[in-house]
Chains A and B, each alone.
Chain A
Amino acid sequence: MTGAELLESLTKVFGAKIQSQTEFRDETTCTIGAEDLREVAKLCRADLSFDYLLDITSIDHYGEEPRFEIVYELYSMTLAVHLRLKLKVSEDVGAVDTVSDIWPTANWHEREIYDMMGIKFNGHPDLRRILMWDGYPYFPLRKEFPLEGLPSEMPDIAFSQAAPMEGGPFVTQPSTATVKDREPRARRPEL
């Protein structure tokens, strides 16, 4: 089986589990339901030779429902094809099934998503924070979390304070102005 045949056979294998399928620059993206994740993941790994989980990412569509989206980047070592699986999670549910038993590398990816976005993974063997310390009360990559951070206090472990932004963040603005004007040392907030 070639890579092209594999991607063509997706609809046949998954059937109605694929809610939508798009092609963009030779990359295939499938949207699935959160409840079908484990079944689809097992089929991908066992029958479709997607033996490599490149990454899991999460997106916060703040103000939309369902709020969160999780993206699984799969790769087949034998056939050299990519497959992207997307699913949506509402804030009320706030959890999806783990795939860390299917691709062991998902263990830390899922911990990072839990740490940064606060989405839980059902059945994860060790769902602790991975970057921030245990007990940190916020999920920093959520849209409502301010860039400068929020104060927190855990005696003898860590503390955090809001950073002084001084009119930042200093994003370079595209223009023909000089570097001094495009990237100032400070920018007044009203500008």
Chain B
Amino acid sequence: MAATQAAAYDSKIEGNVIFTRLDAALNWVHKNSLWPMPMGLACCAIELMATAASRFDISRFGAEVMRFSPRQCDVMIVAGTVTYKMALAVKRIYEQMPEPKWVIAMGACASTGGMYRSYAVLQGIDQLLPVDVYISGCPPRPEALLAGLIKLQEKISGERSLAAQKPALTEKLEEALA
């Protein structure tokens, strides 16, 4: 009789190994732990606060850690009227955020200047920053901000994170695998 073979099944690592694509894993980590930079500039910031508070509870979507330091943020929520005097300060704060980073233009003013067709107001933050999600409303309801956040999560899950963050390494890997 042949000796009994050890089973391929190894109970020590059962449940501890998963197979996935690296991008999918990175995106899953990014999208479920978005730390917002609350760029509250006008009344939209009140709705942003309501979204973070218990009734709407943005932490259900993993985005409750509002940081007032741009160095610790993933997503800038531009909530309110961007005046020309503030515009370059907003851009500077965005530039201080580490990659990868996203921008949500919350409300009519941040998206297009809104009702302020005026000498003092920037006509949409997308003139300065690459906006990922626009949210309509004046101001948008907290549900709308949450819907925008979910849209951003959908967008993040389709991204090629590794290629975007480590282009040289990705190229090397692709060459080795080819």
Contact = CB atoms under 8 A, between A and B. Distances in A.
A109 to B, nearest CB: 19
Contacts of B85: 131-133, 158
A147 B118 contact: yes
Nearest to B116: A163
B84 interface: yes
Contact of A140 (B87, B88, B119): B119
Binding site of A, secondary structure by majority: helix, strand, loop or mixed?
Answer: loop
B120 A140 contact: yes
A147 B84 CA distance: 15
A165 to B, nearest CB: 6
Contacts of B116: 163
Interface of A: 131-133, 138, 140, 145-150, 156-161, 163-166, 168-169
B119 A158 contact: no
A135 to B, nearest CB: 11
Contact of B117 (A140, A147, A150, A160): A147
Contacts of B121: 163
A145 B119 contact: yes
22 contacts: A132-B85, A132-B120, A133-B85, A138-B119, A140-B119, A146-B119, A147-B117, A147-B119, A148-B119, A149-B119, A149-B120, A157-B88, A158-B87, A160-B84, A161-B123, A163-B116, A163-B117, A163-B118, A164-B117, A165-B117, A168-B117, A169-B117
A85 to B, nearest CB: 30
B118 A158 contact: no
A160 B118 CA distance: 10
Contacts of A132: 85, 120
A161 B119 CA distance: 7
B20 to A, nearest CB: 45
Nearest to A160: B84
Given A147-B119, A149-B118, A163 B88 contact: no
Interface-central residue, A146, A147, A149, A165, by most chain B CB under 10 Å: A149
